[in-house]
Chain A
Amino acid sequence: MAVRKPPITTREYWAPGHAACAGCGCAASLKLATKAFSEAMEEKYGDPNAFAVAQATGCMEVVSAVFPYTAWKAPWIHVAFENAGAVASGVEAAWKKLGRKGKILAIGGDGGTADIGMQALSGMLERWHNVVYLMYDNEAYMNTGIQRSSSTPYGAWTTTSPPGKYSIGEDKPKKWVALIAAAHRIPYVATASVANPYDYIRKMKKAAKVDGPAFVQVQCTCVPGWRVPPEKSIEVTRLAIETGVWPLFEIENGDFHNIKIQPPGGGAKVTREGGKIVAIEFKKPIEEYLKLQGRFKHLFKQPEAIDVMREQIKAMWKVLGVEVTLPKPEE
């Protein structure tokens, strides 16, 4: 019987035993990211271990390094919430002086990246440090108990954006940090999803192999924060892609005119011009994504809010150079 080669190395850097929730999409995102990094380092430098991790305070930090235990099999440092970019810069500078080959992986959640860590991130990218910054985006401050961040999507319930008589939940559209990162004209920026591991691994490897800074924003479920059952964790992020909520794209060297879009699947009809995706007709309504999650439950009593969301999603795709049509659910 033929034995298939595993799609990714069996080496573990984010080891079992960490304290993340069952079904945590972000835990999966870190496991895959480190494996992809290891493969990239092996291919580039002949050393699968040629990397170190600098991580911001957040869920994935708290669950992985509780003294005297650690889930990390790579050299790892955590300093504070808002400075993973700066810490990674310092580690990289030291490695350069030590003549050490390899790359630094900086990791932050959406709060630690899109909000409090934005300045340190921008500095790190602008100074061209040889670091990949991975933003695991679970779309709120989950570590402190589900407060809205600037990466929280429109309409979402969080503990600081509760729906009420005068509130529809979060009232601002999501901030797209990947585009801000790309504006630094760094070699490589990508969005990814834990629901599409092959695409994610390819992107992490590419990010790890470029010379200079790279940024990857991966959407991952927070089971309690999104109010989804653990077994729906991957399904819900897959629906984010298939309904158009979560675009998968790559931007190299800040070239906004040549954004590479990954087809979303889910039966969506993709139109290309000269090889570039210019239009997508989604077949699954965003309601399919929303209805699985308790954080959007209240929107179904205010369907006009879901229409607002549709308009925001279209506008987002337009920035990416893609005209999209988003279906409404059949009555």
Chain B
Amino acid sequence: MPIRKVMKANEAAAWAAKLAKPKVVAAFPITPSTLVPEKISEFVADGELDAEFVKVESEHSAISACVGASAAGVRTFTATASQGLALMHEILFIAAGMRLPIVMAIGNRALSAPINIWNDWQDTISERDTGWLQFYAENNQEALDLILMAFKVAEDERVLLPAMVGFDAFILTHTVEPVEIPDQELVDEFLGEYEPKHAYLDPARPITQGALGFPAHYMEARYTVWEANENAKKVIDEVFAEFEKKFGRKYQKIEEYRTDDADIIFVTMGSLAGTVKEYVDKLREEGIKVGAAKVTVYRPFPTEEVRELAKKAKVLALLEKNITFSVGGALFQDFSRALINESEKPKIVDFILGLGGRDVTFKDLDEAFAIAKNALAGEEFDEVNWIGLRKEIL
């Protein structure tokens, strides 16, 4: 029988790792993710997880050791956030290019400067071009579930890409919620053993990994990462379906909430989805036709699902905790790309909010909604809007 425990998302991530039975975990402490390696080292110390825990001297070495271990042919896990993820940046491309299905938990945190330990999504969003799969959890249960599913998707032979699962700093990493821990037996059945046919460092069958790619081969190598990302779309659907069958919880790349007949759909990610769903309930009670959508899978980008979603609304209001300067949020760029050649498409309004742990309140959502209403009414509107700015200190 599955057991229910009250725990933080960091603990849920460590539990997911324990259930997945990685043979090597390499991690370095960083706020707000530190509890993940702490908890894993406890599991190892107590003999509850039979893994080598490599206490590396930096995040760069954490991911490098994971690459070494994964290339040697074993299931591998790590966790980090923010500056730590940025320090890994170079090796993230290599992990994807070498097709190593490492899974990494991220406590989504703002990037310096100014130094800030609180939540936004700039850390993982800034790694969107690395080739890694990206999942975002709304709550602690999703953090656990998505890490398990990330292993399954990443290790699928049609995919073989690393995957990161993000959950919001402090809002989830340090907040307790009831979480159902699935049966080990069922998880074993679900994940199976990792026995790679492409990456091993075995003297009985020596292979070379990480060779130089000349212009004659480099593009094809990159194309296979594109292809694997495309394949992942189907594999994710299959894995979500199997997970639902086995564990009873349903996941979708884009999860919709009260979107039928909606004029305006708020789109967001992570824990903010919870706030937005409540806000939608409030407006619906007032008879206002709004809905919400949560992007659970950000890479591969769910283009088809975005196109379907777009058919349901006149305005998409994107609520984003990240920014590309002079352009807007990442969802704004990706949604615009997904819809650019559609004959009929909604207006898209982008909202930048909640950066560096700034609370997102109904008051902020009122501000965004007012602008989205203008767009709906055909009035002029700014494409990119910073919400909740303290203008008095600017």
User: Contact residues of A with B, CB < 8 Å?
Assistant: 47, 49-52, 54, 61-62, 65-70, 72-80, 82-83, 85-98, 100, 102, 119-120, 122-123, 126-127
Contact = CB atoms under 8 A, between A and B. Distances in A.
22 contacts: A66-B214, A67-B217, A74-B206, A75-B207, A78-B210, A79-B68, A79-B94, A82-B60, A86-B62, A87-B64, A87-B71, A88-B68, A90-B66, A93-B52, A94-B52, A94-B70, A94-B72, A97-B50, A122-B57, A123-B56, A127-B54, A127-B56
B55 interface: yes
Contacts, number: 166
Interface of B: 23-24, 26, 50-52, 54-58, 60-62, 64-74, 76, 90-91, 94, 98, 200-214, 217, 221
Contact of A79 (B24, B76, B91, B207): B91
A87 B211 contact: no
Contact of A50 (B203, B210, B211): B203
B208 A93 contact: no
B60 A83 contact: yes
Contact of A49 (B52, B98, B203, B212): B203
A68 B71 CA distance: 18
B68 A90 contact: yes
A67 B213 contact: yes
Nearest to B98: A79
A100 B69 CA distance: 13
B252 to A, nearest CB: 35
A127 B55 contact: yes
Contacts of B55: 127
A4 B348 CA distance: 81
B203 A79 contact: no
A290 B62 CA distance: 42
B24 A94 contact: yes
Contacts of A94: 23-24, 52, 68-70, 72-74, 76, 201
The residue among A74, A75, A123 with the most chain B CB atoms within 10 A of its own CB is A75
A17 to B, nearest CB: 13
B208 A65 contact: yes
Nearest to A78: B210
B94 to A, nearest CB: 6
Given A67-B211, A67-B212, A87-B67, A98 B57 contact: no
A121 B90 CA distance: 18
A83 to B, nearest CB: 4
Contacts of A120: 57-58, 60-61, 64
B203 A123 contact: no
A79 B210 contact: yes
Contacts of A54: 68
A49 B206 CA distance: 9
Contact of B69 (A61, A80, A93, A123): A93
